[in-house]
Structure 1
């Protein structure tokens, strides 16, 4: 089917039901780079590390809001990653009750390498689209996630 043809809802559903497991499987099979391989990192760590890499240091609460999980969940993940020297934690100088999290400099290149292929693939497919088309793709994927989770 060419990209210029229309697509019925049923054809779209069929195509996506076959495509989504392949996409998820491929993402899960993307191994961390060698420096991170022995650390037993999981896909859930990838999202947290992506925010830190793309957005810079963030507080635990900011990470929790972006990941849409409880701050205690992020605290546990940050603790785990901190013990493995993947991330660094430090007190916020302006509010010592807050913890600032960043990718440890020693692992920044390895984390970037882990994310690079997926980021480049998304850049390649999103770049030719208009801003409105990109928004539609992102909004559609978010809506699908909500529906699958029963939150729609």
Structure 2
């Protein structure tokens, strides 16, 4: 017997998840404003993706486009904006000078550190009404959902 469709089991669950996500984004944005960080969500995501490559070869524009699931032109616009903020830089690939790779600058790494702090502060604010035990249960449930989604991809 298959498990019931979660959307039909509790139609309010999807709406609650959307509302919580929006609330988290607003709280994170407030914390970022207090740090005087002005980045779009797409720019923030691009910084996180570039940072993911820190122990290996920096990504190419095409790698970033694939990870962001956007056209290469959109990545060019994001990189241009982040380069203007001194958060990333374009560097030629030593093996093929026609290939351009994107790496974080010290400013980009500092910005990411501050963004992570803003995200933690926002989560702390959102989760404040929960007891430690409730936070542990929620963390376990979220891990199950994340792991389940990753297994289907």
Q: TM-score, normalising length from structure 2?
A: 0.65
Deviations 1:104-144 (A, max 9, x none): 024412322213453795xx87864697643225679x9xx
Deviations 1:16-49 (A, max 9, x none): 3433432333344341674x63xx4222110000
User: Where does the alignment leave 5 or more consecutive residues of structure 2 unmatched?
Assistant: 1-5, 124-134
Taking the TM superposition and a 5 Å limit, the aligned residue runs for 1:80-91 are: 80-91=81-92
**Does residue 43 of structure 1 match 2:21?**
no
Q: 2:51 aligns with which of 47, 50, 53?
A: 53
Aligned length: 131
Structure 1 position 9, deviation (Å): 2.3
Q: Could you tell me which residue of structure 1 aligns to residue 147 of structure 2?
A: 135
**Does residue 72 of structure 1 match 2:73?**
yes
Distance 2:18 2:77 in 1: 33
- Provide runs of 4+ in structure 1 moved above 6 Å: 124-127
Cα RMSD, aligned residues only: 3.5
- Taking a change above 3 Å as real, the CA distance of residues 92 and 43 of structure 1, as seen in their structure-2 partners, is same
Q: TM-score, normalising length from structure 1?
A: 0.65
Between 1 and 2, higher relative CO (CA 8 Å, sep ≥ 6) is seen in 2
User: Where does the alignment leave 5 or more consecutive residues of structure 1 unmatched?
Assistant: 1-5, 143-152
